[in-house]
Structure 1
Amino acid sequence: MAQQILTHLMFEGSAEEAMNFYVSLFEDAAITDVRRYGPGEMGKEDSIMMARFRLRDREFICIDSPVKHDFSFTPAMSIFVECEDEAELERLFTQLSGGGEVMMPLDDYGFSRRYGWVCDRFRVSWQLNLK
């Protein structure tokens, strides 16, 4: 098997909710594998030990960490989405910012005619750009 480089998202109890939300936003998206913690295992029973999902041509891994950490996601690392049209950009911006935080509202910032940056309700950072 060829080497793969994947984006790994670590949650503390909301991996399944986040993964389902992300897959619902993109047409060519799917959950491709889910492994859950069982009875007596390190994580909470039925939480996500490891799952894989695809958003268009990009594959992601997510987990529910059984360990409490003093850190979470940071906007310094974000998922960058090149949107094909204004309607897609607006839809993604609205859905991803719901319950989250708008870091840069949709606007023309010089480097892009239409761009926005949000942290979603799971604290994952998304940069949305109109091609």
Structure 2
Amino acid sequence: MFQGGTAAAAIDKYLAAFPGASVVSLTPHPEPATGIMLAELDLAGLRVLVSDSAVKDAFDFTPSTSLFVDVADRVVLERLVAELGEGGATLMPLGEYGFSTAFAWVNDRFGVSWQLNLP
């Protein structure tokens, strides 16, 4: 759930970052000023639900919960790390950590945590 009406911008970012990504469904809040009630995205086979909070909550995203994405191509992995990490924070830079060929962990500019892996 996104704060401050940022779900639409996050959707645009994710659609641009993931090759072949698509919006499966999208329902706006009845009042446009409150953004997206619920959207379902397909991000390279990972189904993700996205919504704008209609109220300001006292919490936001935390890296203790991450979206874990396996990719089959190093070029795609590098692109995802760059795109999703832009304006966010790198928790583990792209590298070899012994448990995969290549791995990175980033928080995007919306606060969503992504663990990106090339098995």
Do the two structures share a fold, i.e. TM-score over 0.5? yes
Partner of 1:36: 28
Moved more, 117-126 or 15-24: 15-24
The one of 51, 56, 62 equivalent to 1:74 is 62
Measured in 2, the distance between the counterparts of 1:113 and 1:34 equals 36
Measured in 1, the distance between the counterparts of 2:46 and 2:80 equals 17
The one of 77, 90, 93 equivalent to 1:105 is 93
CA deviation after TM superposition for structure 1 residue 25, in Å:
1.6
Percent identical pairs in the alignment equals: 42
Please list, as runs of the form range in 1=range in 2, the aligned pairs for 1:76-91 lying within 5 A after superposition.
76-91=64-79
- From the CA coordinates, give the structure whose radius of gyration is larger: 1
Unmatched 5+ stretches in structure 1: 1-9
Measured in 2, the distance between the counterparts of 1:113 and 1:49 equals 38
Moved more, 45-54 or 110-119: 45-54
The one of 7, 11, 17 equivalent to 2:9 is 17
Measured in 1, the distance between the counterparts of 2:73 and 2:27 equals 36
Equivalent pairs, count = 118
Q: Contact conserved, 2:34 with 2:54, CA < 8 A, in 1?
A: no
Tell whether 2:46 aligns with 1:58.
yes
Measured in 2, the distance between the counterparts of 1:73 and 1:30 equals 23
Please tell me the residue identity of whatever aligns with 1:20.
Answer: D
Unmatched 5+ stretches in structure 2: none
Where do 4+ consecutive residues of structure 1 move more than 2 Å?
Answer: none
RMSD: 1.5
Tell whether 2:117 aligns with 1:129.
yes
Please tell me the residue identity of whatever aligns with 1:86.
Answer: R
> Which protein is richer in helix relative to its size?
2
Q: What TM-score, normalized by structure 1, do the two folds share?
A: 0.82
Classify the secondary structure of the residue corresponding to 2:117. Answer: strand
Q: Contact conserved, 2:34 with 2:52, CA < 8 A, in 1?
A: no
Measured in 2, the distance between the counterparts of 1:107 and 1:101 equals 16
